[in-house]
Amino acid sequence: MSFVFYLIAALTVAGGLAAILFKNTVHCALAVTVAFAGQALMFLALDAQFAGFAQILVYVGAVAILIVFAILLTRNSETPKDGVYSKNWFVGLVIAAGVFAVLGWAVLGSVRVLPGPGGAPTATPAVTVLDIGNALMGRYVLPLEIVALLLTAALIGAVIVAMHEKERAK
Amino acid sequence: MNPLAGYLLVAALLFSIGLAGALTRRNAILVLIGIELMLNAANLNLIAFWRYGPHPEALTGMMFAIFSIAVAAAEAAVGLGLVISIHRHAKTTDLDAMNRMKG
Amino acid sequence: MIEQAISFTPQLAASPITEILWLIPAVPIVASGVIAFLKQPKRRMAATLAVGSLSFSLLLAIAAFVHVLAGWSHGAAVRETVNFIWIQFGTTHVDLGWVLDPLSAVMLVMVSFVGLLIFIYSIGYMAHDENYTRFFCFLSLFAGAMLGVVIANSMLLLFMCWEIVGLTSYLLIGFWYQKPSAAAAAKKAFLTTRVGDIFFLLGIVWLFAQTGTLLFYNNGAGSIETGALNALLTQPAALGLTAAGAIGLLIFAGAAGKSGQFPLHVWLPDAMEGPTPVSALIHAATMVAAGVYLIARVYPLMQAGALAGGTTAALTVVTWVGAFTAVFAALIAVAQNDIKRILAYSTVSQLGYMMAGLGMGGVAVGMFHLITHAFFKALLFMGAGSVIHGCHEEQDIRRMGGLRADMPLTFLTYAIGMLALCGFPLFFSGFWSKDGILEAAHHWSVARGPFYMLVFGALLTAFYMTRQVGYVFFGTWRGKKPARESPAVITAPLAILAFFAMALGLIGTPAWPWFRGFIESRAVAFDWHGFAEPGLLALMATSTAVVFLGLGFGWRLYGHDAPSPEQPDVLEAAVPWAWAWLRDRLYIDELYAVTVIAFYGWWTRVADWLDRRVWGGVVAGVACAFRGWANFNRFLDTNWVDGSFDKGCEELSSGGGLLSRVQNGRVQTYLRILAFSVVALVAILIWSSLP
């Protein structure tokens, strides 16, 4: 594995770890943004340029901002007395460790069926945006429309949820 | 250790970290953050398999990942809207305090 | 031995009168049942039923007697039986039946005739009693049962009627049950006769076991007919007796109880607590005669094995007991002061005479004295009742006197009875019947003792009867209120009985032994040469002399003026210690109280202890065991079963409580559970797909 991969991986993982470990919620939001960025770099390292840029646009540009907005809107003036971790946080940790163990086991157990170690990447796929566009409008047009519907519904829904409360609070 | 296994392990690690965050933090927003991390890990899985799979020109993995990103964004919006409205109601985002469904 | 008359042919087939013979006891018993349901005020109906039923029985009895008489006069020895099977178990069966022969015919007439007279007498005597109806119910039941005893051809039927007679005796002695002395006397009578009856029952059972039948006469197969008797004679019993002798003695024990022989005589004097008609009927004429009749009925059994002219062990015992009782009771009678008690002891004494007569002279001798005694003793008792009634219920002879002038009719009849009892020569039946016994005693081959005892008894009899008559009818009146004569309904039966007391002698004289011939089914003819038997005239002279001696002695002491109640009796002043012994009945009752009754009291205490401690303890123990078991079950149920069930439910509900903690309303918990489940399932999936 190349050095670049390890670097990007470390960056992403560190960002993720930081996101769940910091006490200050805003710091967590910023850390997760770093993780999103690292993720985008991973995509680019995998020759999925469109996905990488879409990741940056959507996640870093929208989701992270959204998270920050939400944090700022739901801030209480004082920090919680009992700490930021829930009761029985250890159980959650153990479960997460269990999940990683299982997944790791699955991956490592199936290494021999994955494409061979010595083999170079099979071939860099020549994927252009044109191809993606054609696919979107051709083969994947139904999912596209459904996603569009979904996004519309989500938009309206979020507005309604946030708005009604506001009226009642008045 | 072939590259695919490496990417998959990283994805597994990210997923676990995201799960740990969702399971252990008190703040509802941090739970959502954890969920976003998990989704990211899944997307990484998809792209890795697309890249090292037999037919990258079919664009299946890429499309899946793109749609997943879109859906994740929508879900994040709705989720955070919900958290905000809950905060209005209960004056807190502490998940430990929200046990109205206790049976 | 049954002397089969040479010229008399046995007549065994049942004639019409024998077929309906069962009505004679049945009608009074049915009348008794009807009277039992009558209300107390229906006195006239009760008396009419009783008297009417007994009159009917009397008519039938006379018809039966005439039938036997006719048969006898034509040379037939009548013994007609009607037998029937009563119970059958397997191949053995118990039979009942009745018999009509001279013995039963004579007894039937006597019992129903004397009984009827006493019934009529009771109408007057009990007129002031409030329990009049109950009295006639019991009297009727008694009469029916006694007639049943007389006609019974089966030992079992005889025993059943015997027991009913005992029961009615108890009921009648204790008729005035509110008096403690009457209730005690009734109980004493019942228990004392019971002692005799136990031996009687043993005898019956033994007889049935040996001979297989309880019928007396059954065309040769009866238990006292020759076949059975021969079988019994070959069976040895204890003490050198044969089975016949032993059974005979056991039956005599029962007769001794009922007829008041020593030592079972103690109930008879106390039985005077009953009303006077009861004393007259039951304890003079009929019930006490039942014992004598029983011995007469089973005489072939008693006599079995005797050689010609000899006697058997059973009859010897009967004779000695009878003779002893005669003297014993006569001695006690001398010192008594109650008018009825003197007569009671006199009855015991005369019953001893009858038993001795049976033992020494045979059925006819004993039965003749029984018949004559029935008449004059009933007469005496009824006369005594008339005296008591006239003296306003006074019974102590020391408070009477001079009643000859105030109650002439009573005096006349009483005197006739008294002379008959003493055996005044020639005109009174008692003389002939007692003489028959003395003659048999004189000729007895075993010993002379009974003869001398009986002669001495005759002397005593004359003496104490004269004493009594002197106290009551002669001298001056020593009572409080003046006496008066009794009404005709009381004195008329007295007169009738007085006639018979004299007239019955005619059928028993040696010149014309009609009675003997009738009973034994032999031909008789009037023959003055009957008096010419060797020693007979000397014997008659001896007994006459003895009677006059007793009469004279008594007259000299008590004839002119008897002492008043405060002064002692003449003899008492002379020999006070002997007098005290005799007056206190020779202390037999006290002896029994100390020995038998004390033992019985001890035994009841032992039985009571056994019952309460041992059996009661067992029962209580069983109950305790059950209770303990029940408690144990309850404990098990409450603690284990219920407990475990409750525990189970508790566990379930706490388990539910525990499980409900899973649903704590917190999202992260649910999430954790989800994640864990996924992990588990995936692990299983992978693990299962491994090669």
Integer Cα distance of C452 and C543 in angstroms: 11
Q: Are residues A9 and A70 in the same domain?
A: yes
CATH number for region B3-90: 1.10.287.3510
Residue A87 zone, left/alpha/beta (φ > 0; ψ -120 to 50; rest): beta
What b/e sequence results for C297-306 when a residue is b if at least 16 CB atoms lie within 10 Å of its CB, and e otherwise? bbbbbbbbbe
Q: What percentage of chain C exceeds 90 in pLDDT?
A: 23
| Max mean pLDDT range (A153-167, B61-75, C41-55, C490-504) | B61-75
Is residue A94 included in any domain, yes or no?
A: no
The verdict on a CB contact (< 8 Å) between B88 and A165 is yes
Say if A9 falls within a structural domain: yes
- Is the CB of C690 less than 8 angstroms away from the CB of A92? no
Which of A48, A79, A110 finishes a domain? Answer: A79
SS (H, E, C) C377-413: HHHHHHHHHHHHHHCCCCCEHHHCCCHHHHCHHHHHH
My answer on whether A72 and A131 are in the same domain is no
How far from the centroid of its chain's Cα atoms is residue C195's Cα? 11
CB atoms within 10 A of CB C273: 23
How is chain B split into domains, by residue range? 3-90
Length, in residues, of chain A? 170
Q: How many domains does chain A have?
A: 2
Most confident of A88-102, C84-98, C116-130, C442-456: A88-102
Q: Does residue A119 register a pLDDT over 60?
A: no
What pTM, to 2 d.p., does this model score? 0.65
Residue C383 pLDDT more than 70? yes
Query: Does residue A86 belong to any structural domain of this protein?
Result: no
What pLDDT is stored for residue A148 in this prediction?
Answer: 94
Judge contact between C343 and C397, C-beta under 8 A. no
Of A24-28, B27-31, C74-78, C301-305, which gets the smallest average pLDDT? C74-78
Query: Which amino acid, one-letter code, is at C233?
Result: L
CB-count burial class (<10 Å; 0-12, 13-18, 19+) for A149? exposed
pLDDT over 80 at C223, yes or no: no
> B42 contacts in C (CB within 8 Å)?
none
Check C690 against A109: CB less than 8 A apart.
yes
Best-predicted range by mean pLDDT among A113-127, C213-227, C577-591, C592-606? Answer: C592-606
Whole-number pLDDT of residue A166: 53
> Do B23 and C675 make contact, defined as CB atoms within 8 angstroms?
yes
**A117 at the B interface (CB within 8 A)?**
yes
Three-state SS for C415?
Answer: helix
C556-577 burial, b if ≥16 CB within 10 A, otherwise e? ebbbeebbeeeeebebbeeeee
Residue B12 touches partner C, C-beta closer than 8 Å? no
Q: Find, among C338, C526, C507, the residue nearest to C436 by Cα.
A: C507
Distance in Å, alpha carbon of B96 to nearest chain C alpha carbon: 6
| Domain region containing A155 | 125-170
Residue A120 covered by a domain: no
Instruction: Look at B42-56, C213-227, C240-254 and tell me which has the smallest mean pLDDT.
Output: C213-227
Contacting partners of chain C (3+ CB pairs under 8 A): A, B
Q: What percent of chain C has pLDDT over 70?
A: 95
CATH of the domain at A40: 1.20.120.1200
Q: Which amino acid is at C231?
A: A
Tell me which residue of B78, B83, B79, B74 sits closest to A73, measured CA to CA. Answer: B83
Q: Read off the tokens for C390.
A: 């006239």
pLDDT at C253 over 80: yes
Number of A–C residue contacts, CB under 8 Å: 24
In a domain, A91, yes or no: no
Whether B101 contacts chain C with CB within 8 A: yes
Closest CA to B14 of A51, A43, A12: A12
- Verify whether the Cβ–Cβ distance B23 to C660 is below 8 Å: no
Three-state SS for C2? Answer: coil
Contact between C559 and C470 under an 8 Å Cβ cutoff? The reply is: yes
pLDDT in tens, C113-146: 989 988 988 888 888 888 888 899 999 999 999 9
Domain boundary among A21, A45, A79: A79
Tell me the C-alpha distance between C139 and C57, whole Å: 14
Tell me which residues of chain A, numbers 3 to 42, contact chain B at a CB-CB cutoff of 8 Å: 5, 9, 12-13, 16-17, 19-20, 25, 28-29, 32, 35-36, 39, 42
Instruction: Find which of A13, A30, A67 to mutate to test the B interface (most B CBs within 10 Å of its CB).
Output: A67
Q: Is residue A99 part of a domain?
A: no
pLDDT digits (tens, 9 = 90+) for A52-88: 999 999 999 999 999 999 999 888 766 666 677 877 8
Query: Under 8 Å CB-to-CB from C219, ≥6 apart: which residues?
Result: C12, C81
- Chain A residue with minimal CA distance to B57? A125
Residues A74 and A134 grouped into a single domain:
no
What ipTM, to 2 d.p.? 0.91
Is there a contact between A105 and C686 if contact means CB atoms under 8 Å apart?
A: yes
Residue A101 belongs to some domain of the structure:
no
Q: Is B32 an 8 Å CB contact of chain C?
A: no
* pLDDT per position as a tens digit, C475-533: 777 777 777 777 777 788 888 888 888 888 777 777 677 787 787 777 777 767 667 67
Q: Is C676 on the interface with A (CB under 8 A)?
A: yes
Contacts of C683 in chain A (CB under 8 A): 102, 105
For position B103, what pLDDT does the model report? 67
